[in-house]
Amino acid sequence: SVMPVSALANAPVAAPAAEPAETEDAAAETYREEEKAGSGNVLIGYGTPGGHGVARRTRPRKSSAAPVTAEPATQVSAAEKTADDLVLLRTRVPGKLGAVISPLVRRMARDHGVDLGELQGSGTSGLIMRRDVEAVIKPSVAGRAAAVAPVETPAAAPVAGTGDTDARTGLGITGRTAVRGVRKAVAANMTRSRSEIPEATVWVDVDATALVELRAALKKADPHHTPGLLAFIARFVTAGLKKFPELNSRIITTEDTTGGASQDIVAFDGVNLGFAAQTDRGLMVPSVRNADKLSARELDAEIRRLTGVVRDGRATPAELGSGTFTLNNYGIFGVDGSAAIINHPEVGILGVGRIIDKPWVVNGELAVRKVTELTLTFDHRVCDGDTAGGFLRYVADAIENPGTVLADM
């Protein structure tokens, strides 16, 4: 078991032989000046400024001519031995005047193979300081580096225009682009999403023939005011989020006064539907505010307006940062599926693949249908597979039977 820090600070330790009190005080002052390691205690009896540890190891006075030996400890626990190793105030080398009180100096010497018994300290009473060890280390390190210097090999020719060669691959570097602006913001958000959200992904193939035919019929009747397919799917998504509100939420972490943290799932009264839009400045995700209150035609108009706004670089922070769920139509890039990254701090994103002709079984007969793939990535902290699957199946059924679903909205 591990003894608490407070217990270690108050645990009795073996009392080694002492130097005169004035030497102890001078050494302590030197240590404070040389080894300022932030707040808190680095040695018992030698707290750094602002520390509260005042416990001090005491040693019985002995004649300065007496050999330096430690009195045997009685009933010393494992924790006390560990504490004694960590807080050793002084290491005296037999036959030498040099002394070390800094654990950092001892570690530096050990790591670099420096024999402290061969050093004469430059500090008070021969105290060995960091600079004394460094003076030995630097020449030896330089000598070792020269001894193991690799055989030079011809470097790859740099690429014209940059004059740079990649050290790892040996290939010329044709360009270097700083990650900044929108790209930097996107990278930070995606990294945070991957590191904080335990995500899971489910998907389903959907027969979208009925939806495609419905839109074609509406477009024939009114060529100028027919919503796009994405607007219809957006309408189905907002309806699905009403039935499965866990996916239209957010997790908020709150720190308490004791240093711990608690998490709450915050549900929203309404849906701000984000949608991914590719622009010259990178991927942007504007959101249609209160999308659950809009019809398919109104959603279509707002999607078109926001797409123009973000591509012109005129989107406001509210338009870009207020989403509660994201719809991603990556089918426009000619791909079928993708395990998308959730747009932090949201808890879900639905991807729509391209709609293409595929063989499909209808009433026991093989037919060619318009098929797409829906992929839902969700935060497993807010719901389980039954909720995620229920939402995904609801949207899929709405696409396959749009007339029935739209009549109920």
pLDDT tens profile 306-315: 999 999 989 9
Q: Are strands 273-275 and 325-328 parallel, antiparallel or unpaired?
A: parallel
What per-residue confidence (pLDDT) applies to 88? 40
What per-residue confidence (pLDDT) applies to 104? 79
| The pTM of the whole model exceeds 0.95 | no
Task: Give the Cα separation of 146 and 127 in Å (integer).
Answer: 32
Backbone dihedral angles phi then psi of residue 28, each to the nearest 5 degrees? -65, -40
Q: In whole angstroms, what separates CA 92 from the centre of its chain?
A: 46
Q: Which residue among the candidates 52, 224, 225, 380 is catalytic per the annotation? A: 380
What per-residue confidence (pLDDT) applies to 162? 55
Task: Give the Cα separation of 154 and 148 in Å (integer).
Answer: 18
Long-range (24+ apart) CB contacts under 8 A made by 138-141 are 140/112, 141/112
What per-residue confidence (pLDDT) applies to 114? 81
Find tokens 């139509």 and name the residue. Answer: 329
What per-residue confidence (pLDDT) applies to 47? 33
Task: Give the Cα separation of 397 and 370 in Å (integer).
Answer: 14
What per-residue confidence (pLDDT) applies to 40? 35
In the chain the domains, ranked by start, together with CATH numbers, are 5-146 (no CATH), 181-408 (3.30.559.10)
What per-residue confidence (pLDDT) applies to 102? 79
pLDDT in tens, 78-102: 444 444 444 343 444 444 445 776 7
Q: List Cβ neighbours of 40 (8 Å cut-off, separation of 6 or more).
A: 47, 48, 50, 51
What per-residue confidence (pLDDT) applies to 234? 97
Amino acid at 162: T
What per-residue confidence (pLDDT) applies to 25? 54
Q: Check if 380 is active-site.
A: yes
Backbone dihedral angles phi then psi of residue 329, each to the nearest 5 degrees? -95, 80
What per-residue confidence (pLDDT) applies to 330? 93
What per-residue confidence (pLDDT) applies to 180? 86
Task: Give the Cα separation of 89 and 187 in Å (integer).
Answer: 49
Find tokens 């807080």 and name the residue. Answer: 87
What per-residue confidence (pLDDT) applies to 2? 43
Q: What is the pLDDT along the chain (409 residues), one digit of tens a residue?
A: 444 434 434 444 333 444 444 444 555 555 455 444 433 333 333 333 344 444 444 455 544 444 444 444 444 444 444 444 443 434 444 444 457 767 778 888 888 888 887 777 887 777 888 888 888 877 655 555 444 455 454 544 544 555 689 999 999 999 888 888 878 888 888 899 989 999 999 999 999 999 999 999 999 999 888 999 999 999 999 999 999 999 999 999 888 777 788 899 999 999 999 999 988 888 899 999 999 999 999 999 999 999 999 999 899 988 998 999 999 999 999 999 988 999 999 999 999 999 999 999 999 999 999 999 999 999 999 999 999 999 999 999 999 999 887 777 6
